[in-house]
Structure 1
């Protein structure tokens, strides 16, 4: 018999104004997600951004020179993007006749 596994989730509670909750619910519904999943993902994404902003990046002097050279080089075209940008958007093509 398989024993029950202990949940390792921790509750988080917050009070929100009705307007904020309505916006969150509407966005979650548009994504087909529950309020909890939507808020959890948004909070984790925001936390990851803050952590990445404060992450220390260490390089050797040679590595830094290579990095500067790479970011200073002219941009190379991406063939797929060039092809995509050559197509007109549907609203630029005009009405289609039937």
Structure 2
């Protein structure tokens, strides 16, 4: 069986307040990860979320017009009425 190719890694140096480092260490230990593993996982997830939020969707003019029409329509229907009549926990 052939060996897996080595993936190059590069160092990233960060200056961080001690209290934040301690918080990260504590969180990492609860997941049985090293500080580096925890920080890399968190940074990767944040990067993916940021890029996914920037997704551009191209549609033809007719589809866009239909989309805007649906958004501009006032809400209604049984589910909406149920939602609007539900008790509001922030009100007495």
Alignment gaps of 5+ in structure 2: 78-92
Could you tell me how far apart the structure 2 residues matched to 1:49 and 1:7 are? 24
Q: Which residue does the alignment assign to 2:41? A: 41
Moved over 6 A (4+): none
**TM-score, normalising length from structure 2?**
0.59
RMSD of Structure 2 on Structure 1 (CA): 3.1
Q: CA deviation at 1:38?
A: 0.4
Match of 1:59 in 2: 59
Q: What TM-score comes out, normalization by structure 1 length?
A: 0.55
Offset at 1:6? 5.0
Inter-partner Cα distance in structure 1 for 2:46 and 2:63: 30
**1:8, CA displacement in angstroms?**
0.8
Distance 1:10 1:57 in 2: 34
Q: Name stretches of at least 5 consecutive residues in structure 1 with no aligned partner.
A: 75-98
